[in-house]
Structure 1
Amino acid sequence: MRLPADSLGYALQASARLVAEVLDGANLTDGFERMQQAHPDWAEGTRGAVRDLAWSTLREYGRGDAVLRHLLHAPPPSFVRALLLVAVHRLGQRPEQAHTVVDQAVQAVAAEMPGMRGMVNAVLRNALRQKASWADWIGVDEAARHAHPRWWLERLRRSHPERWEAVLDAGNQHPPMALRVNRRRMTVDEALAMLQQAGVPGHRLENDAVLLERPVAVARLPGHGEGLLSVQDAGAQWAARLLDARDGERVLDACAAPGGKSAHLLERADVDLLALELDPQRAERIGRNLARLGLAAQVRVADCRDLHAWWDGRPFDRILADVPCSASGVARRHPDIKWLRRDEDIGRFAAQQAEILDALWQTLAPDGTMLYVTCSVFDEENRLQIARFRARHGDAEQLPIDNRPDCQLFPNAEHDGFYFALLRKSR
């Protein structure tokens, strides 16, 4: 049985496959890219519906799981459980569509596993009968109430006792969409006028990022294909500004893929840029992004910790160390992170970050600056990491950022969560 590609049932079926893969340990973004490649004929509406259902279901997975625990007497096959999670999420978001959602979910399971249609129909109808109890089922479980794993809650409480709930709430929202203007090609005011004329209104933020009133498909962005604009979170756009590379300087972007921050550095100044990336496929994306923007840099595939593999001994004036991390500050954009990460992963990330910092520090010129960046909100990867680094390196001076020792951005309506620390090497 093949469902029409423009039907809700088709979107439920495809998104359930993605959710099932994630719950089995797979990466959501990679899975969605593979699915798109397998369906090159998808209309934009189909692509958007599948993506929205999968991403939204996983943002609120803890809540959906709490509801299903009261409705299921035995664990069903992974696809069926994922389909029920997607359907329960849709019922919660669109109660006026209850009859359609149940009908289309039954159609979706019939197309995949016909023998389970009766079970799915019964569970969802029971869910509707007991919908008044959902809030109680969710409310008694703190992890379900906040839609984050318990270890995540505990870490946030320790790191940010005054704002942990606001951070969690922001992590459950749809992320904003921001653009970076290629300063070599047009001004921000010109870009805003171009977007307004195309029916894509936005406004300028403090760091010249353009925040759109609502997200749109990249295909709708005027000038994107011509390299006038790039999609980049407004918080991420602070990195190039804070590093503040100048014309003629030698600059290293040590963990560069997909290339947004490298491009921003090149848009702001005529620098000699080396972009390193460990993964060959991700390194190719750097080259493609730079080519679209009309920019040039040396891109190499290498582990930045292995200096013998890539460093020629010439020191860098500026280093951007946008290190691998938990990505806890961008979990709303990559909601599988919440459910795939484990508490012990944070210590492993911190150890890797320390290795990267120690290696890169050797390549920085005296009086040069390094910007340490994570998209994390956990102190072990941020403030405590920098404190330990400075204890190991007496020649490291921490420079203030906006009259503060460092800068922790929390996810909000304008940007994702990022951490920045600026370090200078003494002569």
Structure 2
Amino acid sequence: MSPSEAKKSENKKTPNLRALAAKILFQVVDKGRSLADELPDAQLKLTNPKDKGLLQEICYGVLRYLPQLEYQSKEFISKPLTGKQRVFHFLILVGIYQLRYTRIPDHAAISETVSACESLKNRHMKGLTNAILRNIQRNGSDDLEQLFEHCADAIKYNHPGWLLKKLQLAYPDDWINIVSANMQRPPMWLRVNQQKISVADYLELLAQAGIEVAHQDSHSQALCLDQPRDVSTLPGFQQGLVSVQDGAAQHAAVFLNAQSSDSVLDACAAPGGKTCHIAERTPGIAKLLALDVEEHRLQRVHENLQRLQLNAQRICADAGDPNSWWDGQAFDRILLDAPCSGTGVIRKHPDIKWLRRASDIEQLVSLQGRILAAIWSTLKPGGKMIYATCSILPEENRQQIERFVAQNQDAEWLPLGDGHQRDWQILPGQDSKDGFYYAKLGKKA
């Protein structure tokens, strides 16, 4: 085989990552698939780590700026692309994103995006794709803020209108800061496994590896890195010295404060970060049960426990149906990280903005209430429960707890601790953390 033939053969084996991005975005936006499900499968088709990273950057970026990208594309697309051509709509958005929101050289962004048409098996779309991207390149305004100044809020702030209205109502003084934080790339937080190494000693390992820490949380001991990085570069990651977990989520085990004699339930436990943190903080705990309704997600709990060399019982079942899993032995402490809208973690999961609907919130509130009532029956008198969500919507959080306490005479609202007298609503970006909510309930003896 000649060198030129070998090169052609190699090119055939390497997928065009812009084409992969367009397919992923089509599945997420039009078909309602989760980016967390679609992206990893596509990344397996790429061998170069930089290509995997660029694919992620493009997919995340298009989903962050989707309304503005749609707005810019409409000026140059006379008729909507539908049917088999629909994926090319997202390919064009991929091209616009590269031109307007990244430092990728224009010629590379345009040529690679146009080349993706062949990978998507439609060479006839090359002309249209090229023409639109060339027009964007020539005619696009350098001042994006001015370009969208008079647009509807949904376009101006890159959030669905229903969500903006909820945020404006709940946080009249903070909603702009919230949507701004949602548009940022998330920092990388670490949780040190203090069964294996002290925080001080792990900080020394990071320093030796040339990895800088931006700051350390004084209550949970969580470490925020100055720059995200591949976990393979973290000292002792495979040996279980450290895990990746947001600084907000690390307060769950702290507030739960399980003791070694306790029987503890982590309801809705997957992927297991909080289960592992409870086990790390409480060596020799009497009983730790991780419960989740999805088998494939419960497997993640197993994998995390195994890497960290920790133990917990695992059951796949519906937390809202104790008859299907509970042995009748009441728990001393329960962590309920309830299913929620995820509106506090949009910066990590920008697809949430487009997968969620206003009608979902009422259904989620109902589901949370059902699980909360069912799990409450498994808590001992005198026992304590931490209720948590990664939502920032009051109806899923404080209003949910207010209603529960009003309806259950044996429930009392307890101080969280660490200076929080009642509950704690962390907003996205606050102290560089995800949006999160915590409340502590006690069961009267």
1:11 corresponding residue in structure 2 = 17
Structure 1 residue aligned with 2:364, among 346, 349, 357? 349
Give the CA deviation at 1:222: 1.6
Aligned with 1:199: secondary structure?
Answer: coil
Give the 3 Å change call, closer, same or farther, for CA 261–154 of structure 1 in structure 2. same
1:416 corresponding residue in structure 2 = 434
2:158 paired with 1:147: yes
Give the CA deviation at 1:125: 1.2
1:23 corresponding residue in structure 2 = 29
Give the CA deviation at 1:287: 0.9
For this pair of structures, how many residues does the alignment match?
424
Aligned with 1:299: secondary structure?
Answer: strand
Give the CA deviation at 1:136: 4.9
Give the CA deviation at 1:285: 1.1
Aligned with 1:370: secondary structure?
Answer: strand
Q: Per-residue displacement from partner, 1:12-55 (whole Å, max 9, x unpaired)?
A: 22222211111121111101122234x2x622111111111101
Matched-pair contact (CA < 8 Å) for 1:3–1:111? no
**What CA distance in whole angstroms lies between the structure 2 residues aligned with 1:205 and 1:134?**
36
**What CA distance in whole angstroms lies between the structure 2 residues aligned with 1:232 and 1:242?**
16
Q: Per-residue displacement from partner, 1:353-378 (whole Å, max 9, x unpaired)?
A: 00010001101111111000000011
Give the 3 Å change call, closer, same or farther, for CA 94–285 of structure 1 in structure 2. closer
**What CA distance in whole angstroms lies between the structure 1 residues aligned with 2:102 and 2:352?**
26
**What CA distance in whole angstroms lies between the structure 2 residues aligned with 1:255 and 1:215?**
27
Structure 2 residue aligned with 1:325, among 328, 340, 353? 340
Matched-pair contact (CA < 8 Å) for 1:5–1:42? no
Amino acid of the structure 1 residue aligned with 2:402:
A
2:108 paired with 1:93: no
Q: Per-residue displacement from partner, 1:89-145 (whole Å, max 9, x unpaired)?
A: 111123672222112211122332211000001111111222128545533121011
**What CA distance in whole angstroms lies between the structure 1 residues aligned with 2:305 and 2:207?**
26
2:57 corresponding residue in structure 1 = 52
Matched-pair contact (CA < 8 Å) for 1:324–1:349? yes
- Provide the TM-score with structure 2 as the length reference: 0.92
Structure 2 residue aligned with 1:280, among 277, 292, 295? 295
Unaligned runs of 5+ in 1: none
- Provide the TM-score with structure 1 as the length reference: 0.95
Matched-pair contact (CA < 8 Å) for 2:341–2:364? yes
Aligned with 1:330: secondary structure?
Answer: coil
Amino acid of the structure 1 residue aligned with 2:125:
M
Describe how 1:283-302 pairs up with structure 2 within 5 A. 283-302=298-317
Describe how 1:19-418 pairs up with structure 2 within 5 A. 19-24=25-30, 25-37=32-44, 39=45, 42-76=47-81, 77-94=85-102, 97-112=105-120, 113-132=122-141, 135-139=145-149, 140-202=151-213, 203-206=215-218, 207-269=220-282, 270-271=284-285, 272-401=287-416, 402-412=419-429, 414-418=432-436
Give the 3 Å change call, closer, same or farther, for CA 55–5 of structure 1 in structure 2. farther
**What CA distance in whole angstroms lies between the structure 2 residues aligned with 1:343 and 1:48?**
32
Unaligned runs of 5+ in 2: 1-7
**What CA distance in whole angstroms lies between the structure 2 residues aligned with 1:229 and 1:397?**
36
Give the 3 Å change call, closer, same or farther, for CA 183–424 of structure 1 in structure 2. same
**What CA distance in whole angstroms lies between the structure 1 residues aligned with 2:393 and 2:76?**
35
| Deviates most, 294-303 or 187-196 | 187-196
Amino acid of the structure 2 residue aligned with 1:424:
G
**What CA distance in whole angstroms lies between the structure 1 residues aligned with 2:211 and 2:87?**
38
Matched-pair contact (CA < 8 Å) for 2:43–2:55? no
**What CA distance in whole angstroms lies between the structure 2 residues aligned with 1:154 and 1:5?**
48
Amino acid of the structure 2 residue aligned with 1:286:
V
Give the CA deviation at 1:148: 0.5
Give the CA deviation at 1:298: 0.5
Matched-pair contact (CA < 8 Å) for 2:425–2:435? yes
Give the 3 Å change call, closer, same or farther, for CA 162–294 of structure 1 in structure 2. same
Amino acid of the structure 1 residue aligned with 2:217:
L
Aligned with 1:262: secondary structure?
Answer: helix
| Deviates most, 12-21 or 140-149 | 12-21
| Deviates most, 201-210 or 45-54 | 201-210
| Deviates most, 92-101 or 66-75 | 92-101
**What CA distance in whole angstroms lies between the structure 1 residues aligned with 2:231 and 2:196?**
19
Give the 3 Å change call, closer, same or farther, for CA 6–216 of structure 1 in structure 2. farther
Give the CA deviation at 1:181: 0.5
**What CA distance in whole angstroms lies between the structure 2 residues aligned with 1:330 and 1:214?**
18
Identity of aligned residues (%): 39
Q: Per-residue displacement from partner, 1:235-254 (whole Å, max 9, x unpaired)?
A: 10010001111111000001
Aligned with 2:269: secondary structure?
Answer: coil
Matched-pair contact (CA < 8 Å) for 2:265–2:331? yes
Aligned with 2:386: secondary structure?
Answer: strand
Amino acid of the structure 2 residue aligned with 1:12:
R
Matched-pair contact (CA < 8 Å) for 2:16–2:119? no
Matched-pair contact (CA < 8 Å) for 1:227–1:293? yes
Give the 3 Å change call, closer, same or farther, for CA 388–35 of structure 1 in structure 2. same
Give the CA deviation at 1:67: 1.1
